[in-house]
Amino acid sequence: MEVKIYTDGAARGNPDGPGGYGTILVYVDSHGTEHKRELSAGYRKTTNNRMELLAVIIGLEALIKPCEVEIFSDSQYVIKAFNEHWIDGWIKKGWKRGKNEPVKNVDLWKRLLKAKEPHHVKFTWVKGHNGHPMNERCDYLATTAADGNHLLEDVVDTTV
């Protein structure tokens, strides 16, 4: 089963302003019928990078069986972590990066690694705000969620 997941994160007043994510899952069944599912939520106090990560996580966690997945994101942070193997280095160094500084958002990186485990995942960068219809729709979902009235708490799990 092949699934395309388009993602975007947004934050107002980054860091620590309201934010949101937008995720679209696209699947074409054996009859050639396209199925789309849109997911989004807003948070009271967060960062853009946390929302970019959460958009990918939510998309992967929505899958109920192992899939061939292509993730499309305008976040260099997310894409380069996998395509340039940053994450492998972070794990080897005990979640440290250059100058022995701690990696930010470790809770979400670990959640993302767990969510992608059953799948074969390819990460593809798309230029943001450049007219890509699915990226624009994800941006709309993310910013609308960030501007919403029913914002959630972005709780950082420090136990991971």
Mind spelling out the 3-state secondary structure of 99-128? HHEECCCHHHHHHHHHHHCCCEEEEEECCC
Is 70 annotated in the active site? Answer: no
Is 74 annotated in the active site? Answer: yes
Please tell me the distance from the alpha carbon of residue 112 to that of residue 103, in angstroms, as a whole number: 14
Q: What is the pLDDT of residue 13?
A: 85
Closest CA to 127 of 77, 75, 86, 49: 75
Can you say which residues are annotated as belonging to the binding site? 8, 52, 74, 139
Q: Is the dihedral of CA 134, 136, 139, 145 positive or negative?
A: negative
| pTM (whole model) above 0.85 | yes
pLDDT tens for 30-40 read 999 999 999 99
Domains in the chain and their CATH numbers?
Answer: 2-146 (3.30.420.10)
- Sorting pLDDT into bands at 50, 70 and 90, what band is 14? confident
Residue 105 token pair? 């958002």
The 3-state DSSP class for residue 63 equals coil
Is 136 annotated in the active site? Answer: no
Q: Which of 20, 22, 52, 154 is catalytic?
A: 52
The 3-state DSSP class for residue 7 equals strand
pLDDT tens for 121-157 read 999 999 998 899 999 999 999 999 999 999 999 998 8
Q: By percentage, how much of the chain surpasses pLDDT 70?
A: 100
Please tell me the distance from the alpha carbon of residue 87 to that of residue 113, in angstroms, as a whole number: 10
